[in-house]
Amino acid sequence: MDRIMVKETLDVDERTLASNLQDVIDSLKYYQSQGWQGLQVNYCGDYMGFELYKERPETDTEYNSRLKSEKLSKERRRQKYEELKKEFES
């Protein structure tokens, strides 16, 4: 199975983006130098928050955890299928 890309996020204090334009540009350049790729706005009622994001390949730990989770999920679905099969065959 192939590795997937994981979206990593970082909340940005709105004060970081509510400053003079040069400070905002400097802050964003710093985050860009740290590998952050984009900025998105999140709305929650009256609250507006900012979040930086970047994508990276999943780690070995994340990969193994995902495979284990998918295997367990598939087994649960198979068990449910067997139960339904018995129920409707009779």
Is residue 61 within a helix (H) or strand (E), and if so which, with residue range?
helix 60-89
Domain limits of the chain?
1-58, 59-90
List per-residue pLDDT tens for the chain, 90 residues long. 799 999 999 999 888 888 889 999 999 999 999 999 999 998 988 888 899 999 999 999 999 999 999 999 999 999 999 999 999 987
CA–CA dist 87, 90 (Å, integer): 6
Structural contact between residues 51 and 7, judged by C-beta atoms closer than 8 angstroms: no
Structural contact between residues 21 and 27, judged by C-beta atoms closer than 8 angstroms: no
What confidence score (pLDDT) does residue 40 get?
A: 94
Structural contact between residues 32 and 52, judged by C-beta atoms closer than 8 angstroms: no
> Which runs of E-coded beta strand occur in the chain?
5-12, 38-44, 47-57
What confidence score (pLDDT) does residue 65 get?
A: 96
